[in-house]
């Protein structure tokens, strides 16, 4: 980090309901001033399907008992549940020298860098933000930018019950296969993945790297 940009505050929230954390992100973004430090929140959510602002509900095929919540991020429908590492990035983009596209790329590359150390070759797609391994989706990205500040962020499947993804068209793509790190390389510990991801995340989010 440069001297004039405070290092982000890292917060581990444990397991928290998605609507509750969403409200807290909105509140922080509305109230933060120009000198407020950025924050990165690590959280795990109970089962929930979330829809982006302009998402088409036809992509929710059979939600069953899992709640469906429409929120204020971009993108279509995705699933959050136990065994998934969610990373919310509450950042002042103007101060960091990023724009929404370069922030997406930074998040994608942080995960790609992390899983490479596990022997997993992942990649990004320009037409569909996220992280993919051999065509299967490992991580999803959805953001909101307000007052030049971002919230929402990244979700990486570590060791999940992947069946609920079959109840939706993930990210609006019919037949898109989803995977997790447990299936790809045996990594099943969220704490380990979080510890491995954090330095790559901080490196990719260094001020002015996005410009």
Tokens of 94: 């103007």
Q: Two tokens at 55?
A: 């998402």
Set 11, 149, 171, 185: catalytic member? 171
Name the one residue in this structure whose structure tokens are 């998040």: 107
Distance CA 73, CA 193 (A): 24
**Sequential pLDDT tens for the chain (211 residues):** 444 787 899 999 999 999 999 999 999 999 999 999 999 999 999 999 999 999 999 999 999 999 999 999 999 999 999 999 999 999 999 999 999 999 999 999 999 999 999 999 999 998 889 999 999 999 999 999 999 999 999 999 999 999 999 999 999 999 999 999 999 999 999 999 999 999 999 999 999 777 5
180: domain CATH number? Answer: 3.30.930.10
Distance of alpha carbon 133 from the chain centroid: 16
Answer yes or no: is 98 within a domain: yes
Would residue 46 count as lying in a domain? yes
Q: Per the domain annotation, does 36 fall within a domain? A: yes
How deeply is 66 buried, as exposed, middle or buried, from its count of CB atoms within 10 A (0-12, 13-18, 19+)?
middle
Distance between first and last Cα of the chain = 15
Handedness of CA 150, 52, 127, 84 (dihedral sign): positive
2 inside domain:
no
Q: Which residues span the domain enclosing 177?
A: 9-204
Structural domain tally of the chain? 1
For tokens 């929140």, the residue is 41
Decide if 50 is inside a domain.
yes
Q: Is 149 a catalytic residue?
A: no
Rounded to an integer, what distance in angstroms lies between the CA atom of residue 182 and that of residue 161? 11
pTM score above 0.75: yes
Asked if the structure places residue 210 within a domain, the reply is: no
Taking the C-alpha atoms of residue 162 and residue 178, their distance in angstroms, rounded to an integer, is: 7
Q: How far apart are CA 169 and CA 137, in angstroms?
A: 12
Inside any domain, residue 174 = yes
Closest CA to 167 of 94, 64, 85: 64
Q: Is residue 115 part of a domain?
A: yes
């Amino acid at each position: 980090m440069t001297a004039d940009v405070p290092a982000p505050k890292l917060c581990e929230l444990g397991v928290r309901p998605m609507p509750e954390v969403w409200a807290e992100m909105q509140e922080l973004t509305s109230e933060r001033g120009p000198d407020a430090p950025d924050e990165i929140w690590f959280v795990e959510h109970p089962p929930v399907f979330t829809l982006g602002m302009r998402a088409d509900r036809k992509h929710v095929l059979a939600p069953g008992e899992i709640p469906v919540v429409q929120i204020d991020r971009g993108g279509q429908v995705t699933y959050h549940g136990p065994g998934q590492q969610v990373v919310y990035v509450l950042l002042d983009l103007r101060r960091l020298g990023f724009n929404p596209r370069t922030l997406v790329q930074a998040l994608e590359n942080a995960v790609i860098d992390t899983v490479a150390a596990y022997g997993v070759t992942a990649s990004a797609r320009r037409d569909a933000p996220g992280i993919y391994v051999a065509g299967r989706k490992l991580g999803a990205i959805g953001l909101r930018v307000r007052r030049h500040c971002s919230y929402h962020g990244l979700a990486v499947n570590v060791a999940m019950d992947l069946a609920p993804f079959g109840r939706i068209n993930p990210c609006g793509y019919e037949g898109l296969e989803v995977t997790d790190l447990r299936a790809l390389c045996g990594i099943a510990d969220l704490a380990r993945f979080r510890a491995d991801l954090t330095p790559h995340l901080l490196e990719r989010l260094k001020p002015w790297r996005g410009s």
